[in-house]
Amino acid sequence: MGDAQFWKLALAVAAPLCLYFGFRNWRLARLISDTPLSRIRSAAQGYVELAGVAHRGEGEPNLGPLTRLPCVWWRYRIEHHTGTGRSRGWKTVNQGSSVAPFRLDDGTGTCLVDPSGADVRPASTMSWRGSSPWPAPPGEGHRFTGLFGGDYRYTEHRIDEQAQVNVIGDFRTLGGVEVKEVTVQVMRLLSEWKDDQAALLREFDADRNGILSQSEWEHARAAARTRIEQSPPAPAKPTANVVMQPQDQRPFLVAACDLKALVRRWRWAAGALLAGFVVAVGVLASMVLGAR
């Protein structure tokens, strides 16, 4: 393939992508700007925006898997630097995110936030390096070691307790058993298993390479769900107000950051992408017409 053909193909791919993501960012910015802020005590059932202070949900504290710091939500990724020469790069070997509901308090009332399926914008991020498939020891101080060395890179994003959080999603009044309790129990059981990495690898590391692959991790997740489903059912919880993912595909946003700044970034990105679409189409058209 010659240079001209390559650039024609690249522009033909880039133009629709710029158009799609440009309108997507503009739509998100408009949706957030047009959704009025509601109070929990008087919020109507349906699509709302709420703002308040985040508190952990019921049960055991939610701890970041890598840092062991208390939080209301987390997402982590472990990468391994592999390959030789030009093929060297970071490969994700383990990742996950929290699905445990947390409480939001705006001073007029409280509600649960079910983060499953949400576009989460956390405020706290930690990234460091190490030489083991899992950060060890999982105690205070370990996250500040190995900042500049090691074949493994650990990244954890969190929404900390007491953080100011904005939520845009579907506000519903549900019974406790409908708040995805089985999923929450599965994640808690998996978190307990992660605390004993040796036992976890002994049970689910089928190829004995010291790392749980994606398929091996899915096997562990399926085993945890089977154990929870076979255990006696827990008593139903009282009715609760919950914000969750809308069923009509509207955006579900959980943001522990400045929402106005986020809207500005989306608008700026939308303008840049739409300008990129116009430029790509113009250059592509001139190349096609010039070749005739």
pLDDT reported for residue 264: 84
Q: In 10 A of CB 129, how many CB atoms?
A: 16
Give the closest residue to 149 by CA, choosing from 163, 133, 128, 166: 128
Residues 128 and 152 sit within 8 Å (Cβ to Cβ): no
Residue 80 CA, distance from chain mean position: 20
Q: Which helix (H) or strand (E) holds 21?
A: helix 3-34
Would you write out the chain's pLDDT as a tens digit for each of its 292 residues? 556 777 778 878 888 888 888 888 888 788 788 888 899 998 888 999 999 999 988 777 888 999 889 999 999 999 998 877 677 888 999 999 988 899 999 999 999 999 988 999 998 899 888 888 888 644 444 444 445 567 899 999 999 999 999 999 999 887 554 445 666 777 778 778 877 877 888 888 888 777 777 777 788 888 888 887 787 766 555 567 899 999 888 889 999 887 777 778 878 888 898 888 888 888 878 877 766 5
Per-residue pLDDT at 211: 74
Closest CA to 123 of 153, 95, 160, 154: 160
d(CA 154, CA 59): 27
* CA dihedral for 117, 128, 89, 81, sign (positive or negative): negative
What integer pLDDT is reported at residue 50 of this predicted model? 94
204 phi and psi, to 5 degrees? -125, -5
Do you find a cis peptide bond into 70, omega within 30 degrees of 0? no
d(CA 109, CA 291): 66
Could you tell me the two tokens for 81?
């630097």
pLDDT recorded at residue 149: 67
Q: What is the pLDDT of residue 180?
A: 55
Q: Would you say the pTM of this structure is higher than 0.85?
A: no
Closest CA to 29 of 193, 186, 168: 168
